[in-house]
A and B are shown apart, each in its own frame.
Chain A
């Protein structure tokens, strides 16, 4: 059953991917076609305007330029005096993107040495960052959990259900976090980087989920940035990631608690039901036992009185008081009940013989037998 569920979920993921693929294709392919058309037009226009350039020369130049761009060097403008992509602050930023596994890619190592170092660096750095994130997320989750507990204590007096409090406080937490870590930075980026609102939110989401495409990078354009801008961006990434991690761990904890609670409740319910059933059946058996014992007592007394009377009256077989054989049988289901009561049982059933004037001997004998 377990593997079937995992397989089902896996198929669900594949389905999700296929749906995403078709939607992306439908949305993006037309735009791509448009861009292609435009750039081909540009090329043709350029070639026609500058007739001394032939196609192959242009292609060569373009290839080199594209390669340079991939290496992080921007060939347009004046490349001599601008800042490097590998000065200390940018390298710091790059190291940060490697360790957090965001990996924008607008800057990447091109030397063999750089690449080997990148591998080793990531091998050690990613677990380190993972521990840090786990610790920070844990602390945040605990702080938040304590806050919720306090709020719950307050609201319990007002007889609001615990689940409601929890749900509302989570929603508030998520909203507040969104405001602080998503909306506010998006506004700042929109203002400083000159992106549209959608592009800023897109950048924030892509960065904080550590996808990190790199088409938009804060601090990656040619704008003159303030000195503290890049470190601030990096700090925001760290805290934003911790926030996402805290939210995820909180959701995970709750799912676990819910499933545990459900299991407990189901277990408790089962236990209660079983106990109730046991009690009821035991009571029922006891009632039957008591009843049969009382009946036996009564007949015993009646028999004694009858004997006394008949001995006093002599041998006077009188009228029919009771029919010859009247049996009252109570069946015990198991040995325990049988042993609980002394005598009186033959083959698991209790026989009480009624008194008969027709067969006094037999009745007496029967009684004696049964008394034994």
Chain B
């Protein structure tokens, strides 16, 4: 009874902590962003007033025009001259869109306009998201062996460390490598290719994308007149997919670390199963690891003299 009570207690504790965290974040965001927003509003009304003063346009005509422009812009259609040739739905961009959808990043810089597109999105997402998650989980489970289990056991053997410290060391090294290869280097690349992005903007983009938040304020390959746009979009897609896999790997390694240190048991959370071989059959038919074990278990030595009931004849 006490363990059940404890797990509920932990859950409620988590919910309260979560609420507090949200509230804290809200306060900080509000404090940082609101002044900037006010400034922008003031700038914009000044611009509008200036425009109206200089020209023969009256307020209502401008408002209706702006409304139309904004509505089109919401769908990614720009009224500016030099972007009229580019489309958001050529094959590479559609592929990019489909990819952001199934990985649940969802930038929103292009969204389906037609009713048929929206209906198809619903069906596509409902099937694609679990499918992608399953694939990523399967890949990560496979990758855990060469990237986590073997290094940790090698660490234990060669350096003679305890499992706890070996896992901590491994996690720190892994984190450092991941941040270097999947955040710093791509940020440098993005900030070079995209002229309007600073290094911080590119880093922010990498982070928001790889956590699948996908706010959509920064999206690569959206600059008008981008050369090799299709290739760029596809390489960004590959980067997102591999990066997501690596993030899952890091998360799972952290979960194992928490297991080893007993945190998951303490917080009554579901633990990272040791028996990964059990999960592999979800994806594939006939895992090699299991069949020898199953064979050994099922086949008993065929020794007739070991059969008790037939040992009676002694001559």
Contacts and interface: CB of A to CB of B under 8 A. Distances in A.
Given A63-B80, A135-B10, A86 B304 contact: no
A104 interface: yes
Interface in A1-54: 1-3, 5-6, 9-10, 13, 16-18, 20-25, 27-33, 35-36, 38-40, 42-43, 46, 49-53
B157 interface: no
Nearest to A203: B118
Nearest to B69: A62
Nearest to A113: B32
Nearest to B212: A101
B17 A128 contact: yes
A86 B315 contact: no
Interface stretch (B130-138, B147-155, B158-166): B130-138
Contact of A76 (B66, B122, B208): B66
Interface residues of B, number: 143
B294 A267 contact: yes
A212 B214 contact: yes
Interface string B303-315: 1110100100111
Interface in A257-309: 259-260, 262-263, 266-268, 270-271, 274-275, 277-279, 281-283, 285-286, 289-290, 293
Given A68-B40, A289-B313, A29 B302 contact: no
Place the interface of chain A in its size category: 35 or more
A144 to B, nearest CB: 15
B216 A103 contact: yes
Given A213-B106, A259-B282, A117 B28 contact: yes
Contacts of A65: 44, 66, 69-70
Contact of A202 (B27, B99, B118): B118
B104 A210 contact: yes
B104 A209 contact: yes
24 contacts: A10-B135, A22-B91, A28-B88, A28-B89, A35-B75, A38-B68, A50-B56, A59-B80, A61-B51, A65-B70, A68-B44, A71-B40, A104-B215, A109-B32, A115-B200, A116-B204, A122-B208, A198-B115, A211-B106, A211-B214, A255-B282, A263-B290, A271-B298, A271-B299
A148 interface: no
A139 B117 CA distance: 36
A154 B211 CA distance: 45
Contacts of B125: 205-206, 209, 211
A19 B55 CA distance: 50
Nearest to B47: A64
A119 interface: yes
B29 A17 contact: no
A29 B36 CA distance: 36
Contacts of B14: 128, 131-132, 135
B292 interface: no
Contact of B21 (A72, A128, A135): A128
A339 B281 CA distance: 48
A156 to B, nearest CB: 26
A106 B111 CA distance: 13
B172 interface: no
Contacts, number: 431
A211 B98 CA distance: 11
Contacts of B303: 278
A188 B304 CA distance: 74
Contact of A35 (B27, B113, B213, B215): B113
Contacts of A13: 102, 131-132, 135
Contacts of A18: 95
A252 B294 contact: no
B235 interface: no
A201 to B, nearest CB: 6
A39 B68 contact: yes
A102 B302 CA distance: 60
B304 A20 contact: no
B212 A270 contact: no
Given A205-B125, A213-B108, 19 more contacts: A13-B135, A46-B65, A51-B56, A68-B40, A76-B63, A95-B21, A98-B213, A103-B208, A113-B32, A119-B204, A128-B14, A139-B8, A199-B118, A213-B216, A263-B290, A270-B294, A270-B298, A278-B304, A340-B314
Contacts of A96: 22
A282 B79 CA distance: 89
A261 B111 CA distance: 44
A318 interface: no
B118 A198 contact: yes
